[in-house]
Every structure is written in structure tokens, then in C-alpha cells.
Amino acid sequence: MAKDLSKKCSFCGSTDSQVNLLLMGLTGNICDACIERAYEALREAFDTGEDEEDTPSELHTMASVPKPAKIKEFLDQYVIGQDEAKKFLSVAVYNHYKRIEQKVENDVEIEKSNIIMVGETGTGKTLLARSIARMLNVPFAMVDATVLTEAGYVGEDVESILSRLLQAADYKVPATERGIVFIDEIDKIARKGDNPSITRDVSGEGVQQGLLKLLEGSIVNVPPKGGRKHPEQAFVTINTKNILFICGGAFDGIEKKIGQRLNTRAVGYKTSETKSTVDRNNLLQYISPADLKAFGLIPEIIGRLPILTYLNPLSRETLRRILTEPKNAIIKQYAKLFEMDGIKLEFDPETLDYIVDKAVEFRLGARGLRSICETIMTDAMFELPSKRNKSFRVTLQYAKERIETFNEHKLRVA
């Protein structure tokens, strides 16, 4: 009796029960194992010797990197004020590429200069990082330090930071190793107590210890899809030597540490004169690594973040400019939303001043502007799309009524 060859691979002779998949054709069959071998043979036959991951066209060279002044000009289009922080950030990013392109001569090697930005909430730390990412053609990852815990505990391991960067680089390792990482809320991993405790600080000092190897520059095994949900995956090896780390945090309460340090002066006739020159309304401008240590960052991590800069509190004039001047200004965003419904939106100047006054009162920085505008505009955004209005003007009286109605509603709920 003749054997049935219809369910066998025509190349290796395996039956359909011995393979995962068997594709049947008109005159022959092929199994999944033979398909894989044929694919590898084709890759070797047509390989040009150049890995697409290593093509320099996808990576920045010094000729294509804008100068620090140009970087700052770009940031000025999106972030109002904060000139000091912009200068530090522009120089650091420019030097980052010079360091990557350097040719080591006479044993002189440029060290990596990671950055830490300190500023109150809503002053533009995250916006600065996003604007840099918008400008640069390099992988950029933004991560939140609040979810990080020491390895082995509930939360995310520090290696997940590199997983995000790897994903942003489309899993291309050479591009990943030249990327930039922004770690937000870095102050949330500060040591909980000033003295070492017998219990483990798994989301504070433990995370700082884990970050040391990333900031310094080392070879790290990274799980591409994150570590704990996919334990079966193969690791990707990434060298963090040329990855620039930018950290930001509000460091709420650090002004007290700065004030205490500024008051500890030597006894003498010039003590009162020195105190009088201190701007008590903006103590962050006097921040030093010693203050970060007193807040709860360990000395090792402070040493790996050598560039320390600050963001000024937003004045009333700055908040007024933030409303209308940047490319993605809040008022321009609302105008665009109404324009999509065929409605022309206008704000009276007095209304903008009122919004700024409320933001100063709430002390929420630029984020406060958005929440106040949302409170004022919600009813209009709900009603006008169903009507035939071609224009809408936000007057001071309308804005006050919306805010008062919202406050009354909150009082009733409470």
C-alpha cells in the first residue's frame, strides 16, 4: 500500500505531527523549520555587510548638531523665561554630541555631564525636556521616578528606564546608546530619613543605588518588553556610557535646607550685610549639592549629576506671556479646538489678566493656567458645537461667572 505523502514536508520529510506548521502547495509542502532555514539562507546571500542599525544617516554627527545658541533659540519658542536653565541644558546637549564624536588622543577623554534641574511645580522642567526631544533626532525617553523600586519588590526596576529608551529607538541598540533620558520626579526617591534605618528603603535609597550604574556608564542587560511581565524574553545588552541623563524634581521643602545653610555664617560684622543680600523670595537660586544631600540624595548619585541648575518661580508677567506667546500656548490650543468647529474664539485682555491673577492665587504655576482655563471654557465647549455660532468672545464677566459657579458647586459638594 502506497504511503500518503500529502502531509509531509517536501524538503525534510517531516510529517505534520512532527512540526508546528505545514504549508501545503499544489505540488509540494513546506514546514515552518524549512521556512526559517530558507529565510536565513536568503539573508546571508543578499547581505551587503552593512547593518541598518549602524547607518550613520540615522545618527547625529557634529555637522548636523545645532550650536548651543540655536538650541536655546528653539527652546525660547516653547518655554518662556528660565534663561539660566536653558543655557545649561543647551550646553549639556551640545557637549553630549561632542563627547560621542570625540577621538581619544593623549589619554584625554571627555566625561559625561548628566544634569539635574530643581524647580517648583509648573515652572517648565518637563516642558524643557519635551522641547529638547522635539528638536533632536535621537531616541528620547521620559520616565517617572515615582514608580521605581529596588529590584525584587513591587514596582518597576531601574532597567525599565532603558527599556523605554530602547522602544523609542525602535529596538536599535546603537541608536539607543546615543539617546537621552529624562527622569522626572527625581526628588521622590530621596532617602526617607537622614539616618540609616534597619528597614530597607526600597523606593528611596535602594533606587538611588540602582541608578548609579546607569548614570556612571556601564553595560546593562535590559529586558526589551519590561522585566516582570515577560520573564521568558532574552535580554539586550546596552552600554550607558554615551546616554545623557537629565533629572528634574520639585524638591518641595528644600528652601528650608537652603535657608538653614545660608544662615550658618561665621560670627562677625559682615554677617548682617550678607543676610540682607539674600533674596528670600527665590532661595532656589542659591541651591548647592550640599542641599540635595540634606534633602535625601546620596552623595554618590549627586556626584554623577555634576550639572546642577534651577528654575525660577513664575512671576505674574511670565504667566501672562505663557498664556499667549509660545508656539503651543494655551490660548492658541483653545482657539484651534474652536476653529475645528468653525468658531472664531477671542479673549479680552482683562480676561487673560484675571486668569493670571487666579493662577498666582492658587500657586500652581503654568499648570494652574490650564486648569483655570478649562473651568472657564467647559460650558462653552459643551454648548457651542451644537449651535450655529461663528464666533465667541470670552469676557471678564463671563470668566468670573464660570469661576464663581464652579466654586459654589464645590462648596455644595463639600
- What local confidence, expressed as pLDDT, does residue 156 receive? 77
Residue 266 has pLDDT above 50, yes or no: no
User: What's the average model confidence in pLDDT over 47-66?
Assistant: 52
Interatomic CA distance for residues 253 and 236, integer angstroms: 40
- What local confidence, expressed as pLDDT, does residue 19 receive? 86
In-domain check, residue 52 = no
User: What's the average model confidence in pLDDT over 330-344?
Assistant: 93
Residue 159 has pLDDT above 50, yes or no: yes
> β-strands 22-24, 29-31: how paired?
antiparallel
Q: pLDDT-derived band of residue 61, with 50, 70 and 90 as boundaries?
A: low
Q: Are residues 98 and 244 in the same domain?
A: yes
Q: Are residues 219 and 306 in the same domain?
A: yes
The DSSP-derived string for 195-249 is S--SS--TTTHHHHHHHHHHHH--EEEE-TT-SSS-TTSPPEEEEGGG-EEEEEE
- What local confidence, expressed as pLDDT, does residue 70 receive? 92
Cβ partners under 8 Å of residue 238, min gap 6:
162, 166, 173, 176, 177, 219, 220, 222
- Which of 260, 293, 310 terminates a domain? The answer is 310
Residue with the larger pLDDT of the pair 92 and 227: 92
User: What's the average model confidence in pLDDT over 331-342?
Assistant: 93
- What local confidence, expressed as pLDDT, does residue 233 receive? 65
Q: Are residues 138 and 224 in the same domain?
A: yes
Q: How many helices (H) and strands (E) does the chain have?
A: 16, 11
Q: Are residues 169 and 84 in the same domain?
A: yes
248, 88 contact by CB (below 8 A): no
The grid cell for 224 is 526589551
In-domain check, residue 53 = no
Residue 52 has pLDDT above 50, yes or no: no
Full domain range(s) for residue 364: 316-413
User: What's the average model confidence in pLDDT over 32-38?
Assistant: 88
- What local confidence, expressed as pLDDT, does residue 53 receive? 44
- What local confidence, expressed as pLDDT, does residue 50 receive? 43
Q: Are residues 184 and 39 in the same domain?
A: no
The rounded percent of the chain whose pLDDT value lies above 70 is: 82
Q: Are residues 139 and 274 in the same domain?
A: yes
Q: Are residues 247 and 343 in the same domain?
A: no
- What local confidence, expressed as pLDDT, does residue 39 receive? 86
Closest CA to 305 of 218, 257, 240, 245: 245
- What local confidence, expressed as pLDDT, does residue 338 receive? 94
- What local confidence, expressed as pLDDT, does residue 194 receive? 55
Considering its fold, how many domains does the chain have in total?
3
Q: pLDDT-derived band of residue 57, with 50, 70 and 90 as boundaries?
A: very low
- Which of 263, 292, 310 terminates a domain? The answer is 310
Q: pLDDT-derived band of residue 412, with 50, 70 and 90 as boundaries?
A: very low
User: What's the average model confidence in pLDDT over 31-48?
Assistant: 80
User: What's the average model confidence in pLDDT over 154-183?
Assistant: 86
> β-strands 391-394, 236-239: how paired?
unpaired
> What residues pair up with 8 in beta bridges, in sequence order?
15
Computed over every residue of the chain, the mean pLDDT equals 81
Q: Are residues 271 and 300 in the same domain?
A: yes
- What local confidence, expressed as pLDDT, does residue 315 receive? 87
131: how many CB neighbours lie within 10 A of its CB? 23
| CATH for 328 | 1.10.8.60
3-state secondary structure of 20: coil
Q: What's at 221, amino acid-wise?
A: N
The DSSP-derived string for 61-94 is -TTTSPPHHHHHHHHHTT--S-HHHHHHHHHHHH
In-domain check, residue 244 = yes
Q: Are residues 130 and 273 in the same domain?
A: yes
Residue with the larger pLDDT of the pair 82 and 199: 82
138, 270 contact by CB (below 8 A): no
Least confident of 68-77, 170-179, 192-201, 401-410: 192-201
In-domain check, residue 28 = yes
Closest CA to 120 of 408, 367, 396: 367
107-111, 196-200, 272-276: which is most confident:
107-111
Q: Are residues 89 and 169 in the same domain?
A: yes
Q: pLDDT tens, 123-143?
A: 888 888 888 878 877 788 888
In-domain check, residue 54 = no
Q: What is the DSSP letter of 121?
A: T
Q: pLDDT tens, 284-328?
A: 889 999 999 988 898 999 999 999 999 988 889 999 999 999 988
Q: Are residues 249 and 331 in the same domain?
A: no
2-6, 46-50, 137-141, 381-385: which is most confident:
381-385
| CATH for 255 | 3.40.50.300
Q: Are residues 194 and 241 in the same domain?
A: yes
- What local confidence, expressed as pLDDT, does residue 349 receive? 93
